[in-house]
Structure 1
Amino acid sequence: MKTIEAAVNSKKNIIVFGAGAWGRRLVSEHAMRIEYFVDNAPEKQGTWVGNIPVKHPDQLVEADKDQTVVIIANQRHGVEIARQLESMGFERGRNYMAYLPEDPPQPACAPQLRFLRYNVTYRCNSRCSTCSVWKEQGGYELSPEAFGALLEAPEFSGLEILYITGGEPTLRQDFADYIRQAVLHLPRLSTVITVTNGLLADRALTIMKQCHEITSSRGIRFDVFVSVDGLGEIHDRARGVPGSYDKAMRVVKALSASGVPVSASTTLSTINVWHADELRLFFLRQGLAANFKVGQDDSFFNKNGLADGIFSYSSDQFYQLKLFFVKIFSHTQEGSFAWFTAYNTLMMLQEKPRRLTCGYRKHQVAALMQNGTVKYCAGRGRESEPVCIDTLGDRLRQEWAKWDFYPHTICEECTGDIGADPSEEMLEEIRDAQYWKVFLSREGFDRHSARFAAYDRGLGKKEGHTVLITGPWGFEDIWQGAQLAAYIRGRSLSSPGARFVVCSTLPFVTQRTVAGLAHVEVVPVYDSAYLARIPVSDELVVFPDEALHPWSRWAIKLAQDAGLPFTRADDLSAVMEAYLLQECPAHAREAIHAVSCWVDADTGTSRALLERARALSVKTSLPCRFYAMNNCCLGPNGDNRDFYFDHVPQVFGEGHPAGVWIDSGLADLRKTVEAMRASDFVLTAGASASRLARAAGITPYEEEEA
Structure 2
Amino acid sequence: MSISTFRLHYLAKAATGVPRDLVNTFINSKLHPIRPTVLIYNCTWVCDAKCTMCNNWKWGDRKSDMTLDQLEPVLNSPFWGAVENLNISGGEPTTRLDLPEMVEMFQKHLPRLRKVGINTTGLTPARAIPMLTRIVEFCAAKGVLISIRVSLDGIGDVHDQVRTVKNGFNKASKTIEAMQSLAKTHPNFSFGIASTIFAKNMPDAENILAWARTKDLDVVFNMLRFTDAMLHNKELQESIGFHEPEEAFMRKFFLDRVQEESVLSGQAYMYLHYADMIANGYHRTMPCPFKDQGLLLNPNGDLHYCENSEKLGNVLDDSAESLYFKAENLKHRESIKNETCPTCLSPCQVNVSAMKQFIPYAKFLKRAYSVKRAPERHLETLPAVEPTR
Q: What TM-score comes out, normalization by structure 2 length? A: 0.82
Mapped partners of 2:371, 2:113: distance in 1: 41
Q: Residue 290 of structure 1 aligns with which residue?
A: 219
Query: Structure 2 vs 1, CA of residues 149 and 317 (structure 1 numbering), >3 Å: closer, same or farther?
Result: same
Query: Is 1:243 aligned with 2:213?
Result: no
Mapped partners of 1:384, 1:206: distance in 2: 36
Query: Structure 2 vs 1, CA of residues 506 and 110 (structure 1 numbering), >3 Å: closer, same or farther?
Result: closer
Amino acid at match of 1:431: K
Q: Residue 37 of structure 2 aligns with which residue?
A: 114
Mapped partners of 1:361, 1:227: distance in 2: 27
Query: Structure 2 vs 1, CA of residues 333 and 161 (structure 1 numbering), >3 Å: closer, same or farther?
Result: same
Mapped partners of 2:89, 2:16: distance in 1: 32
Q: Residue 431 of structure 1 aligns with which residue?
A: 366
Q: Residue 336 of structure 1 aligns with which residue?
A: 265
Query: Structure 2 vs 1, CA of residues 313 and 144 (structure 1 numbering), >3 Å: closer, same or farther?
Result: same
Amino acid at match of 1:218: K
Mapped partners of 2:83, 2:194: distance in 1: 24
Amino acid at match of 2:283: P
Mapped partners of 2:337, 2:224: distance in 1: 22
Check whether the contact 1:129–1:310 (CA below 8 A) recurs between aligned residues.
no
Q: Residue 138 of structure 2 aligns with which residue?
A: 214
Mapped partners of 1:436, 1:314: distance in 2: 24
Amino acid at match of 1:394: S
Q: Residue 133 of structure 1 aligns with which residue?
A: 56
Query: Is 1:200 aligned with 2:129?
Result: no
Check whether the contact 1:115–1:160 (CA below 8 A) recurs between aligned residues.
yes
Q: Residue 321 of structure 1 aligns with which residue?
A: 250
Mapped partners of 1:298, 1:123: distance in 2: 18
Bigger CA radius of gyration: 1
Mapped partners of 2:87, 2:312: distance in 1: 21
Query: Structure 2 vs 1, CA of residues 109 and 400 (structure 1 numbering), >3 Å: closer, same or farther?
Result: closer
Mapped partners of 2:66, 2:230: distance in 1: 21
SS at match of 2:117: strand
Amino acid at match of 2:51: C
Q: Residue 276 of structure 1 aligns with which residue?
A: 205
Report the alpha carbon displacement of residue 425 of structure 1 after superposing the two structures with TM: 5.4
Q: Residue 323 of structure 2 aligns with which residue?
A: 395
Query: Structure 2 vs 1, CA of residues 433 and 272 (structure 1 numbering), >3 Å: closer, same or farther?
Result: closer
Query: Is 1:261 aligned with 2:190?
Result: yes
User: Higher relative contact order at CA 8 Å, sep ≥6: structure 1 or structure 2?
Assistant: 2
Report the alpha carbon displacement of residue 124 of structure 1 after superposing the two structures with TM: 1.3
Query: Structure 2 vs 1, CA of residues 281 and 140 (structure 1 numbering), >3 Å: closer, same or farther?
Result: same
Query: Structure 2 vs 1, CA of residues 147 and 357 (structure 1 numbering), >3 Å: closer, same or farther?
Result: same
Mapped partners of 1:162, 1:437: distance in 2: 32
Query: Is 1:179 aligned with 2:107?
Result: no
Report the alpha carbon displacement of residue 329 of structure 1 after superposing the two structures with TM: 1.3
Query: Structure 2 vs 1, CA of residues 245 and 400 (structure 1 numbering), >3 Å: closer, same or farther?
Result: farther
Amino acid at match of 2:40: R
SS at match of 1:405: helix
Residues 160-189 of structure 1 deviation map (CA, whole Å, 9 limit, x = unaligned): 111011111111111111011012221111
Check whether the contact 2:13–2:114 (CA below 8 A) recurs between aligned residues.
no
Check whether the contact 2:264–2:365 (CA below 8 A) recurs between aligned residues.
no
Check whether the contact 1:365–1:418 (CA below 8 A) recurs between aligned residues.
no
Q: What TM-score comes out, normalization by structure 1 length? A: 0.46
Mapped partners of 1:110, 1:300: distance in 2: 23
Mapped partners of 2:176, 2:235: distance in 1: 30
SS at match of 1:217: helix
Q: Residue 386 of structure 2 aligns with which residue?
A: none
Aligned pairs, number: 355
Equivalent residue for 1:152, pick from 53, 65, 76: 76
Q: Residue 42 of structure 1 aligns with which residue?
A: 12
Amino acid at match of 2:261: T
Check whether the contact 1:270–1:310 (CA below 8 A) recurs between aligned residues.
no
Q: Residue 360 of structure 1 aligns with which residue?
A: 290
Mapped partners of 2:151, 2:209: distance in 1: 14
SS at match of 2:334: helix
Q: Residue 683 of structure 1 aligns with which residue?
A: none
Q: Residue 405 of structure 1 aligns with which residue?
A: 335
Structure 1 gaps, min length 5: 1-39, 50-73, 77-103, 439-473, 476-503, 508-523, 528-706
Equivalent residue for 2:377, pick from 495, 505, 508: 505
Q: Residue 6 of structure 2 aligns with which residue?
A: none
Percent identity (aligned): 20
SS at match of 1:216: helix
Q: Residue 300 of structure 2 aligns with which residue?
A: 371
Amino acid at match of 1:134: W
Counterpart mapping for 1:41-120 below 5 A: 42-43=12-13, 110-120=33-43
RMSD over aligned CA atoms reads 3.1
Amino acid at match of 1:270: A
